[in-house]
Amino acid sequence: MDDKLYKSEIDFIFRQFPSYQKVGKIAYKEGLEGMTDFDKTLGSPHKKFPVIHIAGTNGKGSVSHMLAAVLQKCGAKTGLYTSPHLVDFRERIKINGEMISREKTLDFLLKWKSYILEKKPSFFEITTAMAFDHFAKEKVDIAVIETGLGGRLDSTNIVTPMLSIITNIALDHCEQLGFTLGDIAREKAGIIKPNVPVVVGEALHSTAEIFLRKAEDGNSPVVFAQKSLFREVLASDYQLDLKGDYQTHNIRTVLTALSVLGENRRFLDIAGEQWSDSTIREALKTAAAATGLRGRWETLNRNPLIICDTGHNANGLKIVFSQLRRQNFKRLFIALGFVADKDLNSIIGLLPQNAYYFFTQARIERALAAGELAKRAFSLGYKGEIVSEIPEVFTKYREMSGEGDLLFIGGSTYVVAEALEFFEKNPDFFAN
């Protein structure tokens, strides 16, 4: 394995075809034509394995990983495609919790480099094509596929799944998806396929009507998790290694989806003899560990206590900050950073007042300058200081923290990603 060549090729696709997550709307590419052409050139790998397809504003990552964990526990060889990655590019593409190898990643990029240079697919089209190709070559029994952005025009939407799932609808990525819940719901509803059942995790009356109309047009059975047999389920009813309060909503969606899948003979053949309630419960106990999910109410350090979470819009942060307020701590510190296109007006009022803030930013073009965030927060009476880089946040917290204090890190997926990366490189930073 040529490590230098691998790094060069990974850097190449990031540089030439930057991801939406890194640079924002300039990387967003509408339409399925590019993805369809790439997939056809590869021999239509997406048709070689059954799929569960997942869209939604919040929760689709957790739902995807929990479903994959259950399938793995049943003994199915399970592909999992999610985005964005936090530390390693290869996190996006996994089989039974194992990332695609560096060798296979490099092989794909080298083999298709001339095509990529000629056709100029987007970064997400490249990674989606790589995932589909990898899953087909490895002969997965089933794949859980998460949309990147939206649904109708998302690169993953060339699949015809055995089940579609829409976790919820909230205002996010409005410039691409629309500025009303109805507009966004119509985009997410684009993953609903004719005669394919769909599970909707959470819906308002207005968005439910949109999903119902789309489902009826294609004769697609629709189940709303809020009205299902699992509507009263709590995350506390199940032992989960995913600890965020929002998992109450996600576990209900997962159980509803599994119930619908349990009526599908093809799925039962895949799940095999281990398909049972006890298998589901056992799988959910270690879902994050089995699939490699990170950054969901994750404890990074215990003394002093440090918790991070990737919640990044008003809908998600409202739940995260509510849970944060209920923690036991002497003093609360919060390291906070956002991307520049985030709607701060809907978020700023949710921030806990009884905290000391480290206003920071991730090392991406799309990051909101820490100084701008601090200026806005200071004008509303929040206390803290500008700490422009994540490593400096930990240095500050080590100097300032005492027994019983808590540091929360969040606001942006990329702030959390850099925190995870820091601890991977400096696991004993707080030991002395």
pLDDT digits (tens, 9 = 90+) for 335-357: 999 998 888 888 999 999 999 99
Partners of 51 in the β-ladder: 143
pLDDT band at 431 (very low <50, low <70, confident <90, very high): confident
User: Tell me, what's the pLDDT at 24?
Assistant: 47
Domain with CATH 3.40.1190.10 in the chain: 3-291
Q: What is the pTM of this model?
A: 0.93
| pLDDT value, residue 27 | 45
Whole-number Å distance between alpha carbons of 321 and 325:
6
pLDDT of 23 reads 47
3-state secondary structure at position 298: strand
Q: What is the CATH number of domain 3-291?
A: 3.40.1190.10
Render pLDDT for 295-338 as a digit per residue (tens, 0 to 9). 999 999 999 999 999 998 888 899 999 999 999 999 999 999 99
The pLDDT of residue 20: 44
> Which band of pLDDT confidence, cut at 50, 70 and 90, is reported for residue 182?
confident
CA separation for the pair 127, 132 (Å, rounded) = 9
Q: Hey, CA dihedral for 173, 178, 184, 186, is it positive or negative?
A: negative
Q: Could you tell me the CA-to-CA distances from 121 to 71, 106, 110, 127, 364 in Å, in that order? A: 32, 17, 15, 10, 21
Do residues 87 and 274 lie in contact, with contact meaning Cβ atoms separated by under 8 Å?
no
Span(s) in the chain for CATH 3.90.190.20: 298-425
User: Which pLDDT belongs to residue 176?
Assistant: 54
Tens digits of residue pLDDT in 1-54: 788 999 999 998 988 876 544 444 544 556 799 999 999 999 999 999 999 999
Cα(first)–Cα(last) distance of the chain, in Å? 37
- What sections of 352-389 are H helices per DSSP? 370-379
CATH of domain 298-425: 3.90.190.20
Map 215-260 to HEC letters.
HHHCCCCEEEHHHCCCCCCCHHHCCCCCCCCCHHHHHHHHHHHHHH
CB under 8 Å to 407, separation ≥6 — which residues?
304, 305, 306, 307, 333, 334, 335, 393, 397, 401
Q: Give the pLDDT confidence score for residue 178 in this predicted structure.
A: 52
172: pLDDT strictly greater than 60: no
Of 210, 153, 196, which Cα lies nearest the Cα of 35?
153
